[in-house]
């Protein structure tokens, strides 16, 4: 078993129930190879943590941006609590080093790992809430997730980039953008797509992603930057 006291020291948080802390990092696959462990996987904690995190973020947005309409606040929140943002926050905390995974899962460093890291962040939030209450969970989210909001708002990452670039291209160029897959790399379960965005026959920018949709969104953001429409 990993030494979870290192996480407590790093975060300056001491769990009363150490099993809750361990369970937050315990993936379902680990139990298949380690029977009789005496505790369940982290999916129930993830379920709870997701709700706690959403309430904390919603409360913050409601009070911080009193002049913003509901639709905009919803977009801010969606950008902050999505898998990519939460996974990055989890990685920045070093949670990757403490995951309890099966040998097979431990080898996968692609999309599946990002998803697991995001779920672990939520599970940790749920465990902290159960162990020390709402204020402790709030302090954790404010310290390790909410700082990303400034970057999201500054760079317009909360916008639907594809809709926004279409609006701008029709306004300024009189054309609707089109997208084309230029190439893809990697095995079927972990492909990386490169997509070009075109105004008529002119390629404006490229974007990469682990799905065609993600690559198109990346290309749209890069086109907004290339055109100075951010």
Q: Cβ atoms within 10 A of the Cβ of 2, count?
A: 12
CA nearest to 144, candidates 53, 15, 47:
53
Question: Interhelix angle for 111-132 vs 83-92, to 10°?
Answer: 70
Q: Name the residues annotated as catalytic.
A: 50, 122
Q: To which H or E segment does residue 119 belong?
A: helix 111-132
Q: Report whether 140 contacts 11 (CB < 8 A).
A: yes
CA nearest to 47, candidates 119, 113, 146, 117:
119
Cα 147 to Cα 205: distance, rounded to the nearest angstrom: 29
User: Which residues 6+ apart lie within 8 Å of 63 measured at CB?
Assistant: none
Q: Report whether 46 contacts 118 (CB < 8 A).
A: no
């Amino acid at each position: 078993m990993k030494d979870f006291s290192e996480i407590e020291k790093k975060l300056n948080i001491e769990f009363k129930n150490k099993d809750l802390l361990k369970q937050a990092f315990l993936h379902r696959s680990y139990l298949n190879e380690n029977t009789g462990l005496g505790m369940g996987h982290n999916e129930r904690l993830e379920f709870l943590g997701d709700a706690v995190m959403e309430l904390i973020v919603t409360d913050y947005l409601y009070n911080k941006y009193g002049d913003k309409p509901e639709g905009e606040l919803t977009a801010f929140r969606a950008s902050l609590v999505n898998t990519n943002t939460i996974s990055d926050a989890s990685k920045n905390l070093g949670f990757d080093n403490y995951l309890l995974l099966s040998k097979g899962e431990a080898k996968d460093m692609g999309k599946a790992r990002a998803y697991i890291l995001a779920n672990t962040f939520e599970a940790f939030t749920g465990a902290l809430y159960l162990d020390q209450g709402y204020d402790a969970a709030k302090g954790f989210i404010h310290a390790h997730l909410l700082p990303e909001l400034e970057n999201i708002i500054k760079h317009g990452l909360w916008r639907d980039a594809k809709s926004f670039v279409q609006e701008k291209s029709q306004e300024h160029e009189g054309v609707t953008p089109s997208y084309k897959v230029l190439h893809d790399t990697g095995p079927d379960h972990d492909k990386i797509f490169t997509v070009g965005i075109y105004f008529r026959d002119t390629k404006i920018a490229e974007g990469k992603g682990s799905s065609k949709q993600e690559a198109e969104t990346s290309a749209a953001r890069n086109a907004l930057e290339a055109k100075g429409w951010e």
